[in-house]
Amino acid sequence: MTAFWGLMKKDMLLMRFWYITWLVFSLICIVGGYIMQDYWNEPSIVVPIYIGLMSMHLFLMPIMILHVLSVEGKTQIWLYNPQSSKKLLLAKLCSAALLQSMSQLLIVVYGLILMQFLLKKGLITVFSDFLPFGQGAFFHIALFTTSLYMTIWIIFLWTIYHSLGKIPALKNFRWLVVFLIWLAFGFIEAQLVKLNLLQNNLFSFSANINVAPSMEYAKGNGWTIAYTDIPVPIVPIIMYIIFGIVLFLIASRLLDKKVEV
């Protein structure tokens, strides 16, 4: 456990540039939003900025993991590390996930401050008019899990790319092979969704969740935000979880072969 935490600390140090850059960018956007709303006397400006910052967390984890993989690819650290490839990759994944969790927690705190600001301006009457707890929690969980899935894909494709470097005939066409793998998965996924067997059986098993927002703003009346039920399919989510684990294990196996960049 001590060794794993040491790996995580090392990876978080490698990720700190992009993480600090993200925090500074977020702060500039937040401060800029309040300056603009004061200049134009339009408090509603801060709302789309908040939603934009929250949505951009989708790419924070993938960017950080791509950076740390690039750095280690140049230094060849894992070639001499006694730890297993699963532990090395899992440490990177956990480091990126921890930093993203902290960032999303900060945006939650800012959301509470924002709602207090909207209350004072008379744009909402209660906190739940803007973002109820249940919907907010669902959005953040969805953002985190989607970002995590994208990150696992990046790890998988990165190991594929550098594994192909050991094959002379494919070395100069690695990006094309990686692109074709991603394209083939998208095609297969689209065809599976169209199958009546899956749609009528597996995909039909869903849970209705009240998370689909409809937002309207009228000057003088503030924000009107209504949430409606949407069906969330359960089986596809489980399938994506299993597939993500499989991709991670394949990437670990490829790294076991001492991939060189």
Tens-digit pLDDT profile for residues 80-120? 566 778 888 999 999 999 999 999 999 999 998 988 888 88
Render pLDDT for 8-51 as a digit per residue (tens, 0 to 9). 998 999 999 999 999 999 999 999 999 998 888 888 888 889 98
Q: Is position 72 within any domain?
A: yes
Query: What 3-state class would DSSP assign to 212?
Result: strand
**Cβ atoms within 10 Å, residue 81:** 14
Q: Tell me the residue range of the domain where 191 lies.
A: 2-256
* β-bridge pairing 206-218 and 222-233: antiparallel
pTM of the model as a whole: 0.86
Q: Is position 106 within any domain?
A: yes
**Structural domain count of the chain:** 1
Q: Is position 118 within any domain?
A: yes
| Helices then strands, each counted (H, E), the chain | 8, 2
Q: Is position 261 within any domain?
A: no
210 DSSP β-pair partners:
229
Q: Average pLDDT of 135-139? A: 83
Residue 137, token pair as written in the block: 């929690």
Q: Is position 217 within any domain?
A: yes
Return mean pLDDT, the chain: 82
